[in-house]
Structure 1
Amino acid sequence: MRILLLGESWHIHLIHQKGFDSFTNSEYVEGGAEFKEALTQQGWDVVHIPAHRIADDMPQTVEGLSAYDCVVVSDVGANTFLLTPGVFKTSVPEVNRLEVLAEYVRQGGAMLMVGGYLSFSGIDGKAHYARSPLAPILPVELLVGDDRMEAPQGVKPVVLREHPAIPTDTDWPALLGYNATIAKPDAEVVVTVEDAPLVAVANVGQGRAGVFTSDLAPHWAPPTFLAWDGYAQLWHNLLTWLSNSD
């Protein structure tokens, strides 16, 4: 089984002010190490295209995406797919990568969107998926505007029903936040957090789409969640079900 992980990377630029003097330094970070390791241990082949490589490296056809059993979009906004350097800098038309991804799902592929500051609508609404080509295929309606629900006290997921997409007989640890969404009428909401969808799935054409509206890594996913004995099984079960390989 092979998945494509899109996103989960960032650059940090810091300004150090020390009295009269200042200097800067930059850092590049790739996230999701725990997620990738958990799936690799479950036998998955994980291909990671970090956010800044999406314009160049993401397949631009349904046939290209069909090399993967599931595509995971995590913590990278719609503009990264839409405002590629060719479009933004030189005004040259290009394929709409989000339309291609949506069509891949409709033709039998699978997609999972994972929460974060640049997922769903995101911080200050900057993720901007609510009016994107992905919105119609997701099992949840997206809010317009900042959809973050910060929960520094921790909030416990509630399993509504048994489903092959989630682990069974395990106590879920608390999470520190999530993206607020509203379940669509045809969605299967399997797990909630504060009465909002946490895990929801739906059939889309010949394929399947799902959401996990919290994080797969810090900060919304605290150490107790990453060390949870159901962590690897959650992703394995969810991606297996979405890929229609159950």
Structure 2
Amino acid sequence: MKKALLLGESWTTHMIHQKGFDSFTTTEYVEGGREFAAALREGGWTVDHLPAHTIETAFPADLDALRSYDLVVISDVGANTFLLTRAVFNASASEPNRLGLLREYVLGGGGLLMVGGYLSFSGVDAKAGYANSPIGDLLPVEVLEVDDRAEHPEGARVRVLRPDHPALGSVGEVWPALLGFNRTKPKGGADVLAEVNGHPLVAVAEAGRGRTGVFTSDMSPHWAPPPFMEWTGYAPLWRALSTWVAGD
């Protein structure tokens, strides 16, 4: 049985409601990625999810713990969450570099999949910051160093380049449109399997003894609209991509 670790896909929204003279606040916590996790579990996978705020304390402590997973998925959580724990940021203590551990994990045979979002790749205001991180050069695309979001409320069309590649799960060449994605550049030696508005959408590569992959749009709303989430190819695509990156 394959085992995956999903990192991120959670957020807290703190809102100020102003009504004339008076105001009040509300706070909402949301977890995404449920459909992604369900797709893998339906295929026989075990999926552990570490929401963004738990990465600091619950991220695998060493390489052996990481190697208990066949696949690590980073989705919509920036590099700073891995690098700036309270011990480092507040107490100036030295700790192992979590992204450095992920690099060792991949080069030693692990699978790493990055999925798009406002805090993936470069992200909003370039705050995700993965270009110069320890895993940046392992990804099958070149991460930009500027705000890389491409917003397409009209719908961005997907073009499948390698429909027979096993990482696409035989879902065909007609995919629902997406509402946005992270812009990246193709990298030599990698395989771009699908494009969105001419930019890489799905790409895969070998990295040392391991493999890496990207899906540069969301696994959940908002960039993944209802037609994509309800698409019959949604679950087969994620199962196939995850399985390929994990090494099968």
Between the aligned partners of 2:68 and 2:157, the Cα distance in structure 1 is: 36
Q: What amino acid maps onto 1:78 in structure 2?
A: A
What's 1:192 paired with? 195
Please give the root-mean-square deviation of Cα atoms over the aligned residues, in Å: 0.9
Between the aligned partners of 1:92 and 1:200, the Cα distance in structure 2 is: 37
User: Matches of residues 132-143 of structure 1 in structure 2 within 5 Å?
Assistant: 132-143=133-144
Contact 1:102 1:133 in 2 (8 A): yes
Q: Which runs of 4+ in 1 moved over 3 A?
A: none
What's 1:128 paired with? 129
User: Paired residues, what number?
Assistant: 245
What's 1:227 paired with? 230
Any idea what the Cα deviations from partners look like across 1:118-145, whole Å, max 9, x if unmatched?
0000000010111111111101111111
TM-aligned CA deviation for residue 60 of structure 1: 2.8
Q: What amino acid maps onto 1:156 in structure 2?
A: R
Any idea what the Cα deviations from partners look like across 1:13-37, whole Å, max 9, x if unmatched?
1111111111112111111111112
User: Comparing 20-29 with 47-56, which one deviates more in the overlay?
Assistant: 20-29
Any idea what the Cα deviations from partners look like across 1:69-124, whole Å, max 9, x if unmatched?
10000000000000011101111011100010011000000000000000000000
What's 1:42 paired with? 43
Q: What amino acid maps onto 1:203 in structure 2?
A: E
SS in 2 for 1:3: strand
Between the aligned partners of 2:37 and 2:233, the Cα distance in structure 1 is: 15
User: Comparing 220-229 with 35-44, which one deviates more in the overlay?
Assistant: 35-44
Contact 1:60 1:100 in 2 (8 A): no
Between the aligned partners of 2:68 and 2:76, the Cα distance in structure 1 is: 22
Asked whether 1:168 is paired with 2:170, we answer yes
Contact 1:182 1:196 in 2 (8 A): yes
Asked whether 1:208 is paired with 2:211, we answer yes
User: Matches of residues 1-246 of structure 1 in structure 2 within 5 Å?
Assistant: 1-161=2-162, 162-170=164-172, 171-245=174-248
Between the aligned partners of 1:44 and 1:158, the Cα distance in structure 2 is: 28
Contact 2:169 2:239 in 1 (8 A): no
| Structure 1: gaps of 5 or more residues | none
| Structure 2: gaps of 5 or more residues | none
Compared with structure 1, are the counterparts of its residues 166 and 90 closer, same or farther at alpha carbon in structure 2 (3 Å cutoff)? same
